[in-house]
Amino acid sequence: MTVPLSILDLAPVISGGDAGQALRNTIDLARRAESFGYHRYWVAEHHFTDGVASAAPAVLIGLIAAATERIRVGSGAVQVGHQTALSIVEQFGLLAAVHPGRIDLGLGRSGQRQAEAVAALAAPKPATAPAPARVVDGLLIPAPFDFSGIVASPKWAVQAALLQQPQAVAPDFAEVVEDIAALIAGTFTRDGIDVHATPGEGADVQLWILGSSAGQSASVAGERGLPFAANYHVSPATVLEAVEAYRAAFRPSAVLDRPHVLVSADVVVAPTAPEAERLAAGYGLWVHSIRTGRGAIPFPSPAEADAAVWTDEDRALVQDRLDTQFTGAPDEVADRLRTLQRVTGADELLVTTITHEHADRVRSFELLAKEWS
C-alpha cells in the first residue's frame, strides 16, 4: 500500500551558515515540497541549539503557510510544557483563521518529561540488561539508548528552567490535551466560568499527539481517538512499542473511527548510494553533539566529517541512529520506507533530511517523491 509522504523540518543551520539562511531555506523547501506532492510540512520545536532554527513553530508555520498554497502545515511538535493551553490554541487559531483547512497542531510532552527525567536520576535503577537489537520483518529495532547522561548535564537543567516562568509547574499532559480540545470545541469551563478563545474556538485544525514510547503520549492519543505520530528517527528502539500502545488504548471518537498512525524516518537520497552516504557524512557528528548534552551543532560538511577523530565510545553513542538512517539511491530508500510502513502499519510516513548544502536537501526530497509516486 502506498501511503502519503510528508516532511518534518528542523530548519537546520549548517556550519558557516546562520539562522536567517536556515529559515529562508525552510521556506524555499516548503514551496518545493508542495510542488513535489508531499502531503504535510511539519516543523519541530527545539531550543538552545546552534544547529536548529525552529524555536517558534507557530511563527514559522505562518511564514510557510503564507508562502505555499495547498500543502498542510503544522507542528511536530509544540512542546506543551513550555506554554499554556490557551496560548497554544490562540496561536494556532490565528493560523487556522488565515489558512483554513491547512493547519495541523501536533502536541508533544516536554516539561512533563523533563520533570520525570530529573526524578528518575535519583531513583534506583533495576539491574536489568537493556533489550538487544533485533530485526523485525526486515526492520532494524536497535537496542534502546540511555538518555540519562543528557538529563544529568548541568547545562540541560539550566536550559529546562529557562523555558518556564520561575516556580512554574507543567500540568499533566492529559489535562493539557483536554484543555486544548475543549478550548477549540468551545466547551471549556473553569470554576464554573465559561472561557472562550478568540481566535481559536472552532478553529479548523487537525489535532495530533506525538510520542516516542509506549508511555502517556500513546495512551492519551488512543484514549481520545486522536491521530498519533511515532518517532522512528529519534527513538527507533521503541517505535513498535509506541504504536502498539496507541492501538491498544484507542477508542473511536468524533475525529477517528479507527487508529491512525504516522511514523517518521531520517533519510538522505541521492542518485547513487555512495553519493547519499557522502551527503550524510556529517550526521554522526551532529547526533553526537546532541547526545553529549551540548545541543545540536551546525550541520558539518562532508569535509569536516572526514576530519573528525572518532573513538569507539563516540561511535557507540550514535550507532543506533546511524544504522536506522535510510541513505541511498531513490529505490533503495523507498524500499526501506515501505518496510517501515509495513512493519509499523503506518497510515502515513514523515521523512526528515539534513545535508550541508540546501540544493542537496531539495534534490533528496524531489528524488524520493518521484520514486514514491
Per-residue pLDDT of 64-114, as tens digits, reads 999 999 999 999 999 999 899 999 999 999 999 999 999 999 999 975 555
Q: Residue 128: pLDDT band by 50, 70, 90 thresholds?
A: low
Tell me, what's the pLDDT at 304?
Answer: 97
Q: Where are the alpha helices (DSSP H) in the chain?
A: 19-36, 57-67, 85-98, 111-122, 148-151, 154-162, 173-185, 216-223, 239-249, 273-279, 283-291, 302-307, 312-323, 330-344, 358-372
Q: Residue 126: pLDDT band by 50, 70, 90 thresholds?
A: low
**pTM for the model:** 0.95
In this prediction, residues 196-209 reach a mean pLDDT of 98
Q: What is the mean pLDDT of the chain?
A: 93
Tell me, what's the pLDDT at 61?
Answer: 98
Classify residue 153 by its DSSP letter: -
Angle at 254 between CA 250 and CA 257, to 5 degrees: 45
| Percent of the chain predicted with pLDDT > 90 | 85
Cα-based distances in Å from 302 to 248, 284, 308, 355: 43, 11, 10, 9
Question: What is the per-residue burial (b if ≥16 Cβ within 10 Å, else e) of 340-362?
Answer: bbebbebbbbbbbbbbbebebbb
Tell me, what's the pLDDT at 1?
Answer: 74
pLDDT over threshold 80, residue 118: no
Per-residue pLDDT of 163-193, as tens digits, reads 888 888 888 999 999 999 999 999 999 999 9
Cell numbers representing residue 123 in the block: 531513583
SS3 212: coil
Q: Residue 161: pLDDT band by 50, 70, 90 thresholds?
A: confident
Q: Please choose, from the candidates 346, 93, 95, the residue with its C-alpha nearest in 3D space to the C-alpha of residue 232.
A: 346
Tell me, what's the pLDDT at 112?
Answer: 53
Q: Residue 290: pLDDT band by 50, 70, 90 thresholds?
A: very high
Q: Please choose, from the candidates 96, 98, 99, the residue with its C-alpha nearest in 3D space to the C-alpha of residue 204.
A: 96
Per-residue pLDDT of 317-331, as tens digits, reads 999 999 999 999 999
pLDDT over threshold 90, residue 237: yes
- How far is it, in rounded angstroms, from Cα 198 to Cα 195? 10
CATH node for 5-372:
3.20.20.30
In this prediction, residues 225-233 reach a mean pLDDT of 97
Tell me, what's the pLDDT at 122?
Answer: 47
In this prediction, residues 123-144 reach a mean pLDDT of 81
